[in-house]
Amino acid sequence: SCQARILEIESLSVRYGGIYALRGVSLSIAAGECITLVGANGAGKTTLLRAISKLVPSKGIIRFAGQSIAGRSPHELVRLGIAHCPEGRQVLARQTVRDNLLLGAYCRRDEAQIAQDLEEQLKRFPRLRERQHQLAGTLSGGEQQMLAIARALMSRPRLLLLDEPSLGLAPNLVREIFAILAQLRQQGMTMLLVEQNAHLALQLGDRGYVLEAGQMTLSGQASDLLNDPRVQQAYLG
Ligand code: ATP
């Protein structure tokens, strides 16, 4: 493809003690692509996102926008343009919704733009506007997930990493979250999405990868993966 690669991963391995969580993983993402990562519990999906964010040490190559991220710290990566929306949301329960959102912009100094982006996120997530002065810990699970996504967007990312955004949510909220992800995709946001809900996630994605026991076993167009009997049998029930 002639599209610029925003993320390139080659031969990535992560070990916890003696056990490999990832072994020889390669993946690439072009600017504007939405990539779906599918895999069973414990396959290493969260570990891959954490390696990209430098939250766990890894071996191998990770390039972001053409540059190796070796030696970078997690907060430098946020400044470079990688935002990580972690599993389990991890919003600051004792701070207001609004302060959580502003924390997403902690690496920025452009105050006027930050105010504009805050307004944009409150427009995108009307439930958050209504609750902006409420403590984040009082939000429902789905609302906390929205807050986690909005907070990640406040860093103006060039790559958004999403770990199980639909986990534990009621079906109507899952639909609401996926509608927002579809809108982000249409606006050109580059995304790497980890999901148990393989069906919805592959419907959203341009391409997908399948991770099994720490290794990439399949990749292709998301529509082809949806129709692949191996994927259907293992992940689509
Ligand atoms: P899930 O869908 O259940 O979250 P996953 O695909 O995200 O699974 P990971 O969380 O990346 O999988 O875990 C991959 C493997 O690494 C698992 O066997 C897990 O037990 C192990 N692992 C993860 N974190 C650690 C850790 N901090 N110390 C030791 N082992 C770990």
**Å from CA of 195 to ligand 1 middle:** 14
**Å from CA of 113 to ligand 1 middle:** 38
Nearest atom in ligand 1 to 196's CA: 2
Q: Is 40 a residue whose pLDDT tops 50? A: yes
Q: Is 2 a residue whose pLDDT tops 70? A: no
ipTM above 0.85, yes or no: yes
* C-beta 21 within 6 A of ligand 1: yes
* C-beta 44 within 6 A of ligand 1: yes
**pLDDT interval class at 100 (50, 70, 90):** very high
The token duo for 137 is 């810990």
* C-beta 18 within 6 A of ligand 1: no
* C-beta 47 within 6 A of ligand 1: yes
Pick the residue whose CA is nearest to atom 25 on ligand 1. Answer: 16
pTM for the model stands at: 0.94
Give CA 224 to chain center in angstroms: 22
* C-beta 145 within 6 A of ligand 1: no
Return the ∠ at Cα 151 (arms to 95 and 117), rounded to 5°.
110
Cα–Cα distance measured from residue 189 to residue 183, given in angstroms and rounded to the nearest whole number: 9
Asked if 43 and 218 touch (Cβ cutoff 8 Å), the reply is no
Q: Which of 12, 13, 15, 16 to mutate to test the pocket of ligand 1 (most atoms within 8 A of CB)?
A: 16
**pLDDT interval class at 1 (50, 70, 90):** very low
- pLDDT tens digits for 69-88? 999 998 899 999 999 998 87
**Å from CA of 22 to ligand 1 middle:** 10
Asked if 177 and 149 touch (Cβ cutoff 8 Å), the reply is yes
Mean pLDDT for 46-60 is: 96
Q: Please report, for residues 27, 127, 175, 214, the alpha-carbon distance to residue 201 in angstroms, rounded to integers and kept in the order given.
A: 17, 23, 11, 20
* C-beta 43 within 6 A of ligand 1: yes
Q: Is 179 a residue whose pLDDT tops 70? A: yes
**Å from CA of 144 to ligand 1 middle:** 23
**Å from CA of 114 to ligand 1 middle:** 35
Asked if 144 and 151 touch (Cβ cutoff 8 Å), the reply is no
